[in-house]
Amino acid sequence: MIKSSETKYSFNLILTGTFIFIGLMAVSLVVKINSLMILLYSLTLSLPIIYLLLFKLDLLVFITVLAIPLSFKLTLAGGIDVSFPAEILTGMIAVFYFIYRLLSPVRLGRKIFRHPLTILILLDISWLIISTLFSEMPVISVKRIVVRFSFMMVFFFVFSVLFTDFKNIGRVWLLYGIGLVIPVFSTLYNHSHYGFSKAVSFMMTKPFYNDHTQYATCIAYILPVLGVLIAIPEKFGVKRNARIPILLVSIVLLTGELFSFSRAAWLSIIVALLFTGLVVFLRFRLVHFMLITIIAAGVIYHYRSDIYQYVEKVDSVSRSADTEEHMESVMNIQTDASNLERINRWQCALRMFRVKPLTGFGPGTYQFIYGKYQITPEMTRISTNNGEKGNAHSEYLTYLSETGLPGFIIFNLLILVTIYTAIRIYRVSRRKEVRWLAIAILTGFITYFVHGLFNSFIDTDKASVLVYGSLSALVVMDIYHKE
């Protein structure tokens, strides 16, 4: 029995669509048009997604979040690589939501658009567009803008609507964690065939993650929020007896983190925990961390020659069986090829910045251009003469080389304002669950941007959902939930 006008409308829409499909299929069979049949089958497979877009958008967004860790690289016609099915779902949601907002008389709250984080996000995408106008490879840059725009629309603006229900924030992180369980088991299974050797760890995460650093980064990002869900589940609409399953998921992810052998991820966790401890127990503020960072950077710059001479003497232990030695090899830039290659990429990024300091070479262009900025003494056994493999291995230097100084400044301001917002929510909120969720999100955020010194994943769906999701959660908590 139909109980509402919405249900009745949905039923009539599906019934009409079914009759149209049957009619067109009959025509295609009679006139034998194979292309029409393929199109009809494609539309039929899309009907559930279309229904969710129109009537259950929140459910489709949750399905997309769950699908992101499980997605894999797929090459479409024309040689376009996508993360399937996550990027396709994200693109569909972004287009639908953008059109819906243009046509709908209901607008997002002005407070959302006036928030400093939203302003900086819009400035970031605006400067990316301006940089694209001066890009060395306009087609590549436009593609990168389209991807970034879809991530921003879904993971920031759509999430900002979902997150007005406070419980949905925890649900997004939990769904991502549940989705990660299968990639972790797959990675551990693949790795077990090689005796969990560190030497092959970088390739064990496929097909779900490109390499072990991206995989370890995402695990480190979500673990703090899962910890809060375990501590106070009832505040997030999670039954207390669900603690055990969430705890088991967290243990699986911790195991995956340990056997990822990602030195940058391990280091980022240590730094993030130290950062959080200073905020919680010693009441440090953003200005304190900025002062510490400036002093540390000054000392390192002043003694850079002595430090370089010291690390030249450090033996390469990246393939050692000793975990402690493996951690120490993050400092080895003399004989560890992966670290040497990072230095090579960083130097190329700096040279590119010096050539085009204002607009950069354009979003997404680094990996196609950096080869000509390599110099022979800095190249390693894993370098390529054409320089066509990988990015700048740094979020910061990627921005600097691709978008110039303005883009670099906007990006760093976004990080600083995010940290400031999270600390302020933690300080002023009267709700325990909001305070601890803000500090957990901040901890995950710090792990990502410490790791961002060594790798760059902001343009992948695996990481963007967490970064933009964190920004969206903090904006909504700051506006609606902290009181």
Residue 238 pLDDT: 81
Q: Both tokens of residue 226? A: 């899962």
Q: Both tokens of residue 400? A: 């600097």
H-assigned helices in 193-242: 212-231
Please count the other Cβ atoms lying within 10 Å of the Cβ belonging to residue 379.
15
* Contact present, 370 and 417 (Cβ < 8 Å): no
* Contact present, 71 and 461 (Cβ < 8 Å): yes
Q: 277-291, pLDDT tens digit by residue?
A: 998 888 887 787 788
Cis amide linkage into residue 224, ω under 30° from 0: no
Which helix (H) or strand (E) segment holds residue 399: the answer is helix 395-428
* Contact present, 131 and 398 (Cβ < 8 Å): no
CA–CA separation, 196 and 256 (whole Å) = 11
- CA 443-447-453 angle, to 5 degrees, is 145
CA–CA separation, 167 and 162 (whole Å) = 9
Q: What is the mean pLDDT of each run of 10 residues along the chain (483 residues)?
A: 52 64 63 63 71 87 94 76 88 91 74 94 96 94 94 96 94 96 94 88 89 94 95 85 92 95 91 92 81 76 56 42 48 55 88 95 93 83 70 92 96 95 93 94 95 91 96 96 77
Instruction: Look up residue 233 and give its DSSP letter.
Output: G
CA–CA separation, 56 and 48 (whole Å) = 10
Handedness of CA 307, 312, 314, 320 (dihedral sign): positive
Q: 289-320, pLDDT tens digit by residue?
A: 788 778 877 776 666 556 545 544 443 444 44
Q: Both tokens of residue 172? A: 């997004």
| pTM reported for the whole predicted model | 0.87
